[in-house]
Structure 1
Amino acid sequence: MITHHAVILFVLVPVAQRLRGELGDFFAGCIFTAELSTPFVSLGRVPIQPKQQHTLLYKVNGILTLTTFFVCRIRLFPFMYWSYGQQQGLSVLQVPFHIPFYCSVANAFLIAPQIYEFSLLCKKASQLFDAPPAKKDG
């Protein structure tokens, strides 16, 4: 996980800054918004080590993870297109044809793993909340 974020910070950000020049500040800023869910995703790993997945903290963090992940990593992309369309007087469906093609391709490459990871988070959450309560002896 640390390597992943280091590569983003030290390789992808400088390359993207160089390639985009003065264009796309709004889109670049929106992409950074995706990182708002990272603390919740990371915090979710902590209770797993001592087998504390049944705690209220773990469940509340799970809800926060799902919410922030969806808003900051999934819903972000339609919002970017909608917002740009509002600024330019375009419908959401017209935006991909009015921005450089590589921007839409890059967004597709960015959202695809987010959708996959969100589906995994939803599957894990459904298992956690659908699990029958543990039986207590005594």
Structure 2
Amino acid sequence: MSLRSLVLAPLAALVLVPVPAFANDRAQENAELVSQLQDPRTQDAVGSALGAMVGALLGIKAEPFVRAAESVGNHDARRDVPAGATLGDLAGADARRLPRQIKRQVPHLMNAAGSMVGVMDQLAPQIEAIGRQMERDLGGLD
């Protein structure tokens, strides 16, 4: 998609959509959320960001945590943590694969989340009807 299309499509949508559509319309908001959750570019960006964050966290030195543990009375902490260790070192060899696994799994999870939003949107009228029925049934219990 060209930059021109990226700019013109939302502007065209604003012109073509009637003003009442800007009201707080749950179905429209949910459809947009589903679209975002199931967009491959968004999924790739989120997966990359989360993988990078986890990778960075695994690279944090463990020493400050050792000092914190010692400050609250855990005097064995230093003995249990090798000098210069990172959180990734403490997490074990499998932790090195975690950032790549996260990046690979996020699109599947986001697709599933999008599907769940769609299902919940379809169920909303039924759930609301159940709530109204319960109010009527339980109304006399005050």
TM-score, scaled to structure 1: 0.39
Greater percentage in helix: 2
| Max Rg structure | 2
